[in-house]
Chain A
Amino acid sequence: MNIAKPNSYRSGPDERGHFGIFGGRFVAETLMPLILDLEKAYSAAKADPAFQAEMNGYLKNYVGRPSPLYFAERLTEHLGGAKIYLKREELNHTGSHKVNNVLGQIMLARRMGKKRIIAETGAGQHGVATATLCARFGLECVVYMGAVDVERQQPNVIRMEMLGATVVPVQSGTRTLKDAMNEALRDWVTNVHDTFYCIGTVAGPHPYPTLVRDFQSIIGVETKTQMQEVEGRLPDSLVACIGGGSNAMGLFHPFLDDPSVEIFGVEAAGHGLTQLHAASIAGGRPGVLHGNRTYLLMDADGQIQDAHSISAGLDYPGIGPEHSWLHEVGRVNYLSATDDEALAAFQLLSKLEGIIPALEPAHAIAKVMELAPKRAKDHLMVVNLSGRGDKDVPQVGDILKGKSK
């Protein structure tokens, strides 16, 4: 690809929210004034030490950060290559990395005087994190969730309701994450005067991809320090799963300008890349949806296609715009793992390390199983364990029972 290499991979986006050709602000006029307000509010908050200090307090004492960087000794032994470290985001309050971003956005919403929070959710992890912080700060919370996902992620639905949120099952379109996002945008257009849209991933109109990335970058910042403490140097490779790509961007971004660090993003290949899948980079091309230009799964007429993944959190036909750019400039390698590979990894990590991962990071573990054996024993590989598997236990249990029959 003939794309000029930038001086830094960390300088984006430009003032119009573009990462190369990706990103932008493709939204209805009704939302534009609010998006411009949000951009201003975020710039002001970033420059305000009090904002950062307050956030650090909650990150430490409410979320439970820093999350550990754990040496997975038995997995390393089993695979017989690279030394594998797990960044334990699943130990955060609410069970995933999602809370890092939600905390930041809820604090922004409070600064902006918004009393009503809406969110979309796929697996329910972002919904649970949003419901949790809305409970903590006494804000009204409405979560849009595809009806298919409501079905397969029941534990998280119950959790959100216990936290006082209203969960709206979305019956339109494919009834998954993409449709939940459409419905959240429709709510936002209607209630723009008092409502803050808490987007769960590094996608959507500018400035969302940037602010979500910034709030998630604590993952990579901590990893850098922790690896320095344990091994005295940078890791050699990073691996993370990607739906929209917020846990991956959070881990990757602080390392983008460290050329010795190999970076791997893992998309969901579903039934396989020639069949139904959710791998936008492997199987898609640039298009415009949900406020940004990015790689999307679509047909020849530009109609968005159904994604499929065993993991509700990766079941989305797009990816964050900065990932699209990092793919085109060649800084990050984007791989993919199938449903079956993810299931195998889910079981392996559970049995070897006593850690039941969510199906989302199980996709990352699946690629670690391929990459690690090919690396030297002194190669340091970090995988982002972005969420815990409690929510997936009923679904995986059913699938495994079905398979053993």
Chain B
Amino acid sequence: MTTRIDTRFAELKKQGRAAFVTYVMAGDPDPATSLEIVKALSKSGAEIIELGIPFTDPMADGPSIQAAGLRALKVGMTLKKTLDLVRDFRKEDNITPLVLMGYYNPIYIYGVDRFLADAKASGVDGLIIVDLPPEEDDELCIPALKAGLNFIRLATPTTDDKRLPAVLANTSGFVYYVSIAGITGAAAADSNTVGQAVARIKQHTKLPICVGFGIRTPEAARAIAEKADGSVVGTALVDALKNSLDAEGRATAKTVNAVAELTAALAQGVRAAKQAAE
């Protein structure tokens, strides 16, 4: 089975360059604007889109993404509406891979089988569920793979060589390397350390390795893209979105553009890495 993610990485490999992966929260700051933002991401150069599922208790996220989730929940965003958003996006864009990222409880409550069927039908390609380590693979990972979705696992600086095979065993699509031990939006990743970690993981897998956490600028995105198969930016985009809102946290005329402009600049950074690598 080939997903949009596999297809995209195959194309990028032919072109000899890394993927630019973006993250935004579904429903932030409201469902309609959020849909426009997701469309703008792909038009501005995002090659893979991660869409956050809002959750009240995001234990691995820093203040920016916590606040984004709360903004979305405040306007009534749910997992079902997140899937609706994906379906609407797919009416325009049937190529850009889309990955849902979040925590297990909303999916567990939605019902795993029903969720997987609805996610697949909506046009979701993969899942990143932060609080499902390989020890809990029976919950969602194995059923998701059977349903034809990629299950993308996080590897971290604490995942040593002994543990890597277990982490990689049921991973598909790509490996998401978390560049720091910490929460989203915290410290910056050092590209040399990241390069060593990517080389280490590559000894265990043929899957593409994307790196996230702590990448905020086009320069940083470029530096990482020279060491890995993809650069992931989330918090910086969420912050750009937030800075465009009015005092009540509502979208303004500037909101979609603010995200689109930063996305374009970051995409350029990642593309510049292509030349550096050649």
Contact = CB atoms under 8 A, between A and B. Distances in A.
Interface of A: 16, 24-34, 172-173, 178-179, 182, 185-186, 189-193, 287-291, 293, 296, 298, 300-304
B57 A178 contact: yes
B136 A193 contact: no
B186 A190 contact: yes
A25 B136 contact: yes
A179 B186 CA distance: 19
B59 A32 contact: no
29 contacts: A16-B135, A24-B135, A24-B136, A25-B133, A25-B136, A27-B133, A28-B131, A29-B153, A29-B154, A29-B155, A29-B167, A30-B60, A32-B134, A32-B163, A33-B159, A33-B160, A173-B57, A182-B59, A186-B60, A190-B186, A191-B181, A287-B105, A291-B131, A293-B108, A302-B55, A302-B106, A302-B110, A303-B73, A304-B56
Contacts of A33: 158-160, 163
Contacts of B182: 30, 189-190
Interface of B: 54-60, 62-63, 66, 70, 73, 78-80, 103-110, 130-136, 153-160, 163, 167, 178, 181-183, 186
B109 A172 contact: no
Contacts of B134: 32
Contacts of A300: 109
Instruction: Give the secondary structure class of B's interface.
Output: loop
Contact of B159 (A26, A29, A302): A29
A191 B55 CA distance: 24
A186 B178 contact: no
A28 to B, nearest CB: 5
Nearest to B131: A26
Nearest to B160: A33
B60 A28 contact: yes
Contacts of B106: 301-303
Contacts of A28: 59-60, 130-131, 133, 154, 156
A298 B56 CA distance: 10
A186 B163 CA distance: 22
A190 B167 contact: no
Please provide the 3 A-B residue pairs with the shortest distance between their CB atoms, ordered closest to farther. A302-B109, A302-B106, A190-B182
A302 to B, nearest CB: 3
A289 B57 contact: yes
Given A25-B133, A29-B167, A190 B181 contact: yes
Contacts of A290: 57, 59
Nearest to B67: A172
A29 B183 contact: no
Contact of B178 (A26, A29, A191, A301): A29
B56 A173 contact: yes
A29 B128 CA distance: 12
Contacts of B160: 33
A298 B131 contact: no
Contacts of B54: 303
Given A172-B63, A290-B59, A301-B78, A186 B131 contact: no
A141 B160 CA distance: 28
Nearest to A186: B183
B37 to A, nearest CB: 21
A290 B59 CA distance: 8
A271 B218 CA distance: 53
Nearest to A183: B59
A87 to B, nearest CB: 33
A172 B69 CA distance: 12
Nearest to A28: B60
B64 to A, nearest CB: 12
A140 to B, nearest CB: 18
A302 B59 contact: no
A26 B109 contact: no
